[in-house]
Amino acid sequence: MKKLALIPLLLIAACSQPTGMTGKMSDGAPVVIQRVVHPGFLEDFTLISPEGWSCKTTLDWNKHLNTPYTTTARLPLACDNGQTGYALITVPHLRRGYVQAGQSSITFTLKNGRSGIVHY
């Protein structure tokens, strides 16, 4: 029943264009994450570096609505330059319905040691 409360929000987002969010690599370099919401509680995240490489992952909210307080998903990243790693997506208070801008984050780490964070 609680998942049904998210349907209007996700349907509105599914009709929109990709959303870009900016953050920083651990070395201070800028990074962009593009987010595309799809019907069925799916979201694609693409990490884009100013150096030209990108990494992708998909979040299935059906598998990651795990607590009433904070939802956290650890997802694999696959990059177009051969790198791999993971993204940790954290959304506080998602099930309670009062997520505020800037409280959610995507932290990522690649096998080559590069890492960063984006708040949204």
- For residue 68, give the amino acid letter: P
Nearest to 54 by CA among 88, 78, 87: 78
The pLDDT value recorded for residue 99 is 53
**What percent of the chain lies above the pLDDT cut of 70?**
71
The pLDDT value recorded for residue 7 is 43
pTM, full prediction: 0.74
User: Mean pLDDT score of the chain, rounded to an integer?
Assistant: 79
- For residue 105, give the amino acid letter: S
Nearest to 87 by CA among 66, 58, 120: 58
The pLDDT value recorded for residue 82 is 96
Residue numbers of the chain with a pLDDT score lower than 70: 1-18, 65-70, 93-103
Q: In the beta sheet, which residues pair with residue 44?
A: 36, 58
Is the backbone of residue 81 left (phi > 0), alpha (psi -120 to 50) or beta? alpha
**Two structure tokens written together for 52:** 């030209």
